[in-house]
Amino acid sequence: LLDISWYTESMRAGRPVEILERHKLQEQQINEAAAVVFSVPSYACQRRTTLQNHNTVLTEALSLLAENAELNEEDGRAIAFRRSEAVLKALPKAVTNLADLRGLPCLGEHSLKIIKDVLKDGVSSEVETTRQSDRYKALKVLTGIFGVGAKTADRWIKMGISTLHQLQASGQTLNQAQQAGLEHYEDLNQPVAKAEADAIGDVVQKVVLSVLPGALITLIGGFRRGKPTGHDVDFLITHPEEGREVGLLPKVASLLKSQGFLLYQKTTRNSYLESDDGPARLSSNMDRFERCFSIFKLEMNPGTTRSGTPRSSSRTESQSDDHSPQTPGGVHENGLESRRRSWRAVRVDLVVSPISQFAFALLGWTGSKLFEREMRRWAGHEKAMSLSSHALYDTKQRRYLRAASEEEIFAHLGLEYIPPSQRNA
């Protein structure tokens, strides 16, 4: 506390600046003494990250900058923001002053500056400027189209295309995925609820079992981590007898299609062969399972309201803001029409793995993306191993390490087992 005699002396001598300085210093000392000391290991796969986040204002700010970097294909920057975001997500309490961050890993200079601004002013001007920037808004709108990635969006923006209307008017040739993406734009940008994922799961299960009795179907991705909503629904399919699963998806897709459940689908074959691919190529996060990317037509019970934010607000925004997601004019969807429809479009991914790779596929497809990335980094940097959704290879022993469960993979990697609900990094 302030030393009273020094204070009165300084006041008498007319030294208010010194008083202020000393005040500040003392405040800082008090803050530091009261600072919470968090201890957080540096790899996300060593941490338990639940959906309960005590620092949403900070993590949302960092997440927007990460997203912007991803949309601009600035990978290093994106990862740095994602790592800082994940550290804050893992904290058991809200951060209230900078001193709370002492000793935490992964917080780079840029992230710290953002955190500091948000703690001080409630917002970061860099975040707000980015959010409002024409380029960010255009990238968001265009990559919101299924089948459009950052590269395509950038090419279009350079041609002066930054809205859906401009895209339609431009006469650009769209591939089939993009055409379907544009047609179902509004639905595909609405969050999918767990109940909707379960309803789709029932349909998928019935069809898969009719083609391959004994097959096992698992809901993966964010829903397996306990998220209440997602941007898509991911399923992993396998069969206890290795080999029985080969060629399953073309049959499943054609049945689903004939029953009117698919608005779009693209099926790719399994292109992974341990003998051909070898461990060197395994570090890539792209896997080569038999896979079906689809847009599912989900019937909704009468009176069922859609998940997520009310549509009315998004429509008002789109009328006033030229960049926000608008329904492509003249195409199928318009507000009233779609609200009266008895169905909605949902992105659904089906992945098939041989049973011998199932644990790796399950682990790799449960996410979160950062958790997966960190697990591969841990494997490579700390254990000289190479982890993918197909296998784990030990470079020193020069052999593949088999696993029948996720627990075994964590054990091979010398990591404490983290259940899916705590992988929300």
Applying CB under 6 A, among 372, 378, 413, 420 the residue interacting with ligand DCT is: 372
Question: Which SS3 state, helix, strand or coil, does residue 338 take?
Answer: helix
Active-site residue, from 234, 321, 322, 394:
234
Question: Would residue 187 show up in a list of annotated catalytic residues for this protein?
Answer: no
Class of residue 355 by CB neighbours under 10 A (exposed 0-12, middle 13-18, buried 19+):
middle
For the chain, how big is the Rg over CA atoms in Å? 25
| CA dist., res. 195 & res. 173, Å (int) | 36
- Kindly state whether residue 234 participates in binding Mg ion, applying the rule CB under 5 A: yes
Least CB distance from residue 234 to ligand DCT, whole Å? 5
- Could you tell me the smallest distance in angstroms from the CB atom of residue 232 to Mg ion? 4
- Residues 63 and 83: their CA atoms lie apart, in Å, by 10
In this chain, which of 67, 100, 232, 406 binds ligand DCT, going by CB under 6 A?
A: 232
Q: CB 227 → ligand DCT: shortest distance, Å?
A: 5
- What is the rounded CA–CA span in Å between residue 3 and residue 371? 50
CA dihedral sign, ordered 312, 318, 321, 325? positive
**Residue 55 or 366 having the CB closest to ligand DCT:** 366
Active-site residue 321, yes or no?
Answer: no
15-54 mask for Mg ion (x: CB under 5 A)? ----------------------------------------
DSSP annotation of 133 reads: -
- Binding test (CB under 6 A) with ligand DCT, winner from 137, 140, 227, 390: 227
Binding-site member from 147, 181, 221, 279 for ligand DCT (CB under 6 A):
221
Q: Which of residues 287-346 bind ligand DCT (CB under 6 A)?
A: none
Count CA atoms within 13 Å of residue 371 on its CB side: 28
Strands 216-219 and 233-238: antiparallel
Q: CA torsion sign, 40 to 42 to 45 to 46?
A: negative
> Which span (76-84, 137-145, 219-227, 326-334) binds Mg ion, by CB under 5 A?
219-227
Question: If phi over 0 gives left and psi between -120 and 50 gives alpha, with beta otherwise, what is residue 147?
Answer: left
- Using DSSP, state whether 268 is helix, strand or coil: strand
Count the site residues for ligand DCT by CB under 6 A. 14
Q: Rule CB under 5 A: is residue 230 a binding residue for Mg ion?
A: yes
Sole binder of Mg ion in the list 147, 181, 221, 279 (CB under 5 A):
221
According to CB under 5 A, which one of 154, 232, 245, 287 is a site residue for Mg ion? 232
Query: Is 285 an interacting residue with respect to ligand DCT (CB under 6 A)?
Result: yes
Q: Applying CB under 6 A, which residues contact ligand DCT?
A: 221-222, 227, 230-232, 234, 285, 364-365, 367-369, 372
